[in-house]
Amino acid sequence: MNHRIFVANRGEIAVRIIEACDRLGYDTVLGVSKADKDTLAAKRANRVVTIGGPRPADSYLNMNAVIQAALSTGCTAVHPGYGFLSERPAFAELCAANGLTFIGPSPEALRALGDKLTARQLAESVDVPVSAGGTAQTAEEVRQLAERIGYPTLIKAAHGGGGRGMKLVESTAELAEAWQLASSEAEASFGDGTVFLERFVQDAKHVEVQILGDRHGHRVHLGERECSVQYRYQKVVEEAPCTALPGPTRALLYQSALRIAEALDYVGLGTVEFLYDVQRDSLAFLEVNPRVQVEHPVTEAITGVDLVREQLLAALGEPLSFTQAEVTLTGNAIECRITAQDPENDLQPSPGTVTRWRPSAAGGLRLDTHIYEGYRFPPFYDALMAKQVAWAPDRAAAIERMEQALAAFEIEGVTTSLPLLRRILAHPVFRDNTVTTHWLNELMMEKVNS
């Protein structure tokens, strides 16, 4: 069957999906907003359709407009990329109702994973370790639960992420007000004010396992990534593998991720996320992201597997092209997210026109981007410009290669995060790989206070 894929996204991930489709011989139709008609992805796709105005609600989040555009152009499947409609069960159901293949897991899996409380219960049901936590109805029940967990404790939104609806509580005196505030933020951001408590791990590493499943009962993992370098819960630098994990802990990590994949009869790409408590040498399940991740290139770099290609084939009914025994992890890879943000001004967006764009051309590097000289940032979307990836036989060599790439990168016209990335790579804490999830926040505060 000749497939035609509708790409319902923008930026670098739209380019990445189109390239994977080209390698498979699939036609592509790109749905764009009125602000994205002249992008690099629009130049690469076989056909481009304008689906609405520049605001995401009018275009990339407009389910009916996406479905109508896919049907009217004869597409057989829809790839949602990440963000936007990629985790919406209603959109996956709408695709199925209109005879379109949704490139992602089933609506049932999306629904189960979209609620963090349900996902926690699923993890517990298959003996995957979770942090002490839960939810309660009355103020007294919340107080009792917090005392059982112990302070400090974290209040989190059941639906959503990105730090919204999340509050760190140090004592009982702060609890009631923080609970109400977190619930209100969650209601405003995600349309559901359900929140829950979870033990706060002071010195934690963020580790995640890449999983992949097909419609024939095959499921594999492709190793882990570490994403501990975060600023306000936004990942900045990722790497694979996580060199700080002891062997037995890594084995438990893989077993846990596959147990969840088995429980969901998982099809497609997914990422099972955990916190690794460095002091206790213990893991705790966080959540599952049921889609391709921004940081997927570091996994591709150490496995040699084209994850987007495999994701497409699995959704279209093909069996996985390899077994778990055939997955080999070689070397180390690091990814730096280059953004149009000002590190001297709390990473505030810095829109404008890119007047010079000269990446390094050295070997061992990969650049995923949609930027070109003359590109003008629309004010409606995120500030991601590119993902610079460096691979080398070991972590020290990968860091050195990345440092050289960042030093040679020339960007003019907009203020970027390049200076911050260079500072992170050169810092002894990063080089020793002792970073935890709060390290970059503290580094940024040092800059503000110096």
**Minimal CA–CA distance to 27: which of 66, 96, 74, 61?**
74
Instruction: Tell the residue number behind the tokens 């070689």, with chain if given.
Output: 330
CA distance linking residue 420 with residue 212, whole number of Å: 33
**Minimal CA–CA distance to 226: which of 261, 271, 269?**
271
The residues annotated with a catalytic role in the active site are 291
Contact residues for 304 (Cβ-Cβ < 8 A; gap 6+): 328, 330
Tokens of 245: 């994990």
C-alpha distances (whole Å) from 94 to each of 5, 63, 65, 287, 314 are 16, 8, 12, 25, 20
Q: What burial letters (b/e) apply to 398-422, b meaning 16+ CB within 10 Å?
A: bbebbbebbeebebebbbbbbebbb
Contact residues for 321 (Cβ-Cβ < 8 A; gap 6+): 310, 313
First to last CA, the chain: 62
- Phi then psi for residue 449, to 5 deg, are -85, -10
State the DSSP string of 187-235: HHHHS---EEEEEPPSSEEEEEEEEEE-TTS-EEEEEEEEEEEEETTEE
Q: How would you classify the pairing of strands 268-277 and 282-289?
A: antiparallel
State the DSSP string of 82-122: SSTTTT-HHHHHHHHHTTPEESSS-HHHHHHHHSHHHHHHH
